[in-house]
C-alpha cells in the first residue's frame, strides 16, 4: 500500500535541508543534501506511521498540499510517496504468521486459475483496512 503526504523542506545556512511532515505530529528530519533530506523524510514518515500502527493509534489523513503553510520563505513543499509494504518488508520483523481461513470453493478455483497470490492480497487488504 502506498500513501502520499506533503512535506515542508527548508534550506539551512550550512547548505543542508530540514524537513517537517506536518500531518505526522513531531515527525521531522534533516539531510546534508536535498536527495538525502528526501530519503530521510520518507524513512521518518514511514517509521512514524508503522509505530502508530503498532501502538494502535489512528493514522492521520494527508492534508491537501494547498492547505500546508510554510514556516519561512526559504522553504518549499513537496509530496512524499510512502510505500508501506516495501518498507515493512525491508525493515520490520520478517517473521510470518500462518493463518487458516475459509473462502468459497468457486472463489478459490477462480483465484488459483489466474495465479493470485493469496498472502499478498490478504496483506494488502489488511493494510488498507488498518490505514483507513
Sorted by where each starts, the structural domains of the chain and their CATH numbers stand as 2-93 (3.30.160.250), 96-132 (no CATH)
pLDDT by residue for the chain (132 residues), tens only, comes to 899 999 999 999 999 999 999 999 999 999 999 999 999 999 999 999 988 888 889 899 999 999 999 998 889 999 999 998 888 777 665 556 677 788 898 998 898 889 888 888 888 888 888 876
- DSSP character string of 2-39: EEEEEEEEEE-TTS-EEEE-TTSTT-EEEESSHHHHHH
How many percent of the chain have pLDDT more than 90? 51
User: What cell numbers appear for 16 in the block?
Assistant: 543542508
Alpha-carbon distance of 40 to 86, in angstroms, equals 16
| pLDDT number for residue 6 | 97
pLDDT tens, position by position, 21-44 = 999 999 999 999 999 999 999 999
| Closest among 3, 89, 84 to 47, alpha carbons compared | 84
Compute and round to an integer the Cα radius of gyration of the chain: 19
User: What cell numbers appear for 22 in the block?
Assistant: 506536518
Amino acid at each position: 500500500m502506498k500513501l502520499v503526504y506533503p512535506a515542508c523542506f527548508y534550506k539551512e545556512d550550512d547548505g543542508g535541508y530540514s524537513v517537517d511532515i506536518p500531518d505526522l505530529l513531531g515527525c521531522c528530519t534533516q539531510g546534508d543534501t536535498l536527495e538525502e533530506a528526501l530519503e530521510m523524510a520518507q524513512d521518518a514518515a514511514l517509521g512514524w506511521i508503522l509505530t502508530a500502527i503498532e501502538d494502535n493509534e489512528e493514522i492521520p489523513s494527508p492534508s491537501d498540499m494547498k492547505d500546508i503553510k510554510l514556516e519561512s520563505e526559504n522553504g518549499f513543499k513537496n509530496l512524499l510517496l510512502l510505500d508501506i509494504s516495501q518498507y515493512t518488508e525491508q525493515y520490520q520483523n520478517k517473521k510470518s504468521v500462518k493463518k487458516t481461513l475459509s473462502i468459497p470453493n468457486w472463489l478459490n478455483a477462480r483465484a488459483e486459475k489466474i495465479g493470485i497470490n493469496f498472502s499478498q492480497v490478504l496483506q494488502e487488504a489488511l493494510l488498507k483496512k488498518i490505514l483507513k
